[in-house]
Structure 1
């Protein structure tokens, strides 16, 4: 093993192979981290550990690892064969951490802000369609004094075709009317969480207006939302969960799921890898995704990890180790489908929240 490691290191040095930390991290993903740690102990303390079964270091795994580090090619991922040859293909380097039903390389989330001309040509809400979608939700619940959840919207303009006038193409799904954009989804999530005893701060900044006033393009939206998130965290150190709600631009056949006769807008989680909290945020997303799939199979499209190559890479998730970017539905989803999913997500998040609090109290950390 020692000789093999020296051989690999020598090969890298002699061939002057450039190995980034991201490349190394992606490559060693073929090894199980916990088993790798145990294996390293076994090398030094043979009598204290039984034989590793199956062994972590096998010839195929070591060969595969060396090949990936040296060539940046991952045999099981076609993108790595062509990424350096086809301009723009690296934009689709999104890592599928947990693949939901039907998720594959052909329908990865693609983060692309609309052109500024499109952003300024926003659509009006259809009052007729809104009346058809209205439901009786009861009185607004009292917001608990201790606010621990912060909801915001980096792309507040993201809306939905079924409730807009003269909207047909995905680029038409733009509106500053919070009744028909993602701010409305934030309103419903805040209401649901408050009903479950969780205090919420909800930022409803019109990002289109803010960007236009500063003369910024839509690609600067995360710069603007970062100021909002930092200010909220500075003003309230009790805030722990930071949720940025978006909607996807894919069409209905991919973004919709019928479960027990009820139609839901599918959701998914995006975690930015370029920050110190990404592993903890990733574990949170995986835990929530797991519970969602247990109770509502197929409602999630999965959990995705993004770097600077294929998105913002941070998504303000360095602010907290309980931060997430949540994509709910697509341009074709109806308000009823979206609301069904929001209610489900609130249920799962609240269960996780209270179980986490109970665990802290039991362990004396409450």
Structure 2
């Protein structure tokens, strides 16, 4: 015969045990999320994206205190009154499948080729910009980046002429201060016309260790100097550096980060960081005709995981709007990328609140188009810079 006086304590024991188990599980999950949040600024440039990290980072540590307050009401002061805890079923589902209940894109992102682009946000869209025309990373296997071609003779002539035109005297100057640091995380990215490979169908072949995107950076440095803004242009061969470390192209941002950090330590005058890339799209989507001239279209890319994201957005929007005003159709807009879309949504932009990544043209753009774009960007950036300096001086 069952004793009702012993059954009730047993039932209470199992209820308390169940609640304790739930709290213990939540404690482990949410403490991990809190630890990731606190240490993220130092880990994000090397930490690779994974299912557990993505799941935990979506929830606040307040969730732990919410559930604990059911047993001890003193914990009710640790979370906001209108705070709603995440459903345990949602957390479990994401941990098991990486499917986010509130985001239907996660049902297809890892299964359909190209669908992961929707982890990016078009903050400002330029002419012709939508999710089918946004940039994607160019990170081929290191072994496929072996060439060291000379600049095509016809393109070289255009390049030399642009250098002569840049030798003008600016009305105002930063003097000996080099306030802009220009670098190239994917230094191997090149353009078919520069390599004498016009008409090549495979965009992945637009790579070279000598004739590449660093020429665009050097042109920008010259144009900024002509506008009175001192700059330093880094031309590090990232392919070589990655090979020395035994790293793949997927760790290029970790490599460029060390380069930028060293530069910032050596030059305290640097205020702006510009990482220049080349998109893999073809000519019809990366070329614009403006006032009778042909330009390589450009886009500004920002990382959403950057703690200085809001400040960088302000600068990016101001530059985009000035480009739209003076060179309508040149800017493809401003794109932000989440931590789930690659490189944890950082792109080394936490190193400065005045940091941007720009995609200049695509694989088919030639030196004339690149030169016109660099001049236009320098014109707009210089105007933005001197306006900002005027405000800061007040």
TM-score range, shorter chain: 0.7 to 0.9
Q: Would the alpha carbon gap of residues 141 and 190 (structure 1) be closer, same or farther in structure 2, given more than 3 Å must change?
A: farther
Who is 1:44 aligned against? none
What RMSD, in angstroms, separates the aligned Cα atoms of the two structures? 2.7
Cα offset for 1:84? 6.6
Gaps of 5+ in 1: 1-12, 25-69
Who is 2:389 aligned against? 357
Q: Is the 8 A contact 2:145 2:209 kept in 1?
A: no
Q: Would the alpha carbon gap of residues 137 and 131 (structure 1) be closer, same or farther in structure 2, given more than 3 Å must change?
A: closer
Q: Would the alpha carbon gap of residues 258 and 22 (structure 1) be closer, same or farther in structure 2, given more than 3 Å must change?
A: farther
Q: Would the alpha carbon gap of residues 166 and 115 (structure 1) be closer, same or farther in structure 2, given more than 3 Å must change?
A: same
CA distance in 2, matches of 1:112, 1:187: 20
Which is greater in Rg? 2
* CA offset digits 1:3-30 (Å, max 9, x no partner): xxxxxxxxxx9xxxx9866699xxxxxx
Q: Is the 8 A contact 1:256 1:264 kept in 2?
A: yes
Q: Would the alpha carbon gap of residues 265 and 84 (structure 1) be closer, same or farther in structure 2, given more than 3 Å must change?
A: closer
* CA offset digits 1:274-332 (Å, max 9, x no partner): 12101111111011001101111111111010122112111110010000001100000
* TM-score normalised over the length of structure 2: 0.69
Q: Tell me which moved more, 81-90 or 334-343.
A: 81-90
Question: Secondary structure of 2:163's match?
Answer: coil
Q: Would the alpha carbon gap of residues 23 and 108 (structure 1) be closer, same or farther in structure 2, given more than 3 Å must change?
A: farther
Q: Is the 8 A contact 1:92 1:110 kept in 2?
A: no
Q: Would the alpha carbon gap of residues 91 and 297 (structure 1) be closer, same or farther in structure 2, given more than 3 Å must change?
A: closer
Question: Secondary structure of 2:384's match?
Answer: helix
Who is 1:73 aligned against? 103
Q: Would the alpha carbon gap of residues 185 and 133 (structure 1) be closer, same or farther in structure 2, given more than 3 Å must change?
A: closer
**From 260, 281, 284, the counterpart of 1:229:** 260
CA distance in 1, matches of 2:329, 2:190: 23
Q: Would the alpha carbon gap of residues 277 and 162 (structure 1) be closer, same or farther in structure 2, given more than 3 Å must change?
A: same
Who is 1:261 aligned against? 292
1:110 equivalenced with 2:141 (yes/no): no
Q: Is the 8 A contact 1:124 1:175 kept in 2?
A: no
Who is 1:171 aligned against? 204
Q: Would the alpha carbon gap of residues 251 and 355 (structure 1) be closer, same or farther in structure 2, given more than 3 Å must change?
A: same
Report the number of matched residues. Answer: 297
Q: Is the 8 A contact 1:23 1:72 kept in 2?
A: no
* TM-score normalised over the length of structure 1: 0.74
1:311 equivalenced with 2:342 (yes/no): yes
Question: Secondary structure of 2:351's match?
Answer: coil
CA distance in 2, matches of 1:133, 1:190: 13
Gaps of 5+ in 2: 1-25, 27-53, 61-99
1:97 equivalenced with 2:123 (yes/no): yes
Q: Is the 8 A contact 1:176 1:208 kept in 2?
A: yes
CA distance in 2, matches of 1:87, 1:335: 32
Cα offset for 1:80? 5.7
CA distance in 2, matches of 1:279, 1:132: 38
Q: Would the alpha carbon gap of residues 215 and 140 (structure 1) be closer, same or farther in structure 2, given more than 3 Å must change?
A: farther
Who is 1:10 aligned against? none
CA distance in 2, matches of 1:264, 1:136: 14
CA distance in 1, matches of 2:121, 2:158: 39
Q: Would the alpha carbon gap of residues 109 and 23 (structure 1) be closer, same or farther in structure 2, given more than 3 Å must change?
A: farther
CA distance in 1, matches of 2:159, 2:365: 12
**In the TM superposition, what are the counterparts of 1:126-141 in structure 2 within 5 Å?**
126-131=152-157, 134-135=160-161, 137-138=163-164
Who is 1:48 aligned against? none
Question: Secondary structure of 1:135's match?
Answer: helix
Q: Tell me which moved more, 265-274 or 117-126.
A: 117-126
Who is 1:248 aligned against? 279
1:202 equivalenced with 2:233 (yes/no): yes
Question: Secondary structure of 2:175's match?
Answer: coil
Cα offset for 1:163? 1.8
1:215 equivalenced with 2:241 (yes/no): no
Question: Secondary structure of 2:232's match?
Answer: strand
CA distance in 2, matches of 1:317, 1:268: 16
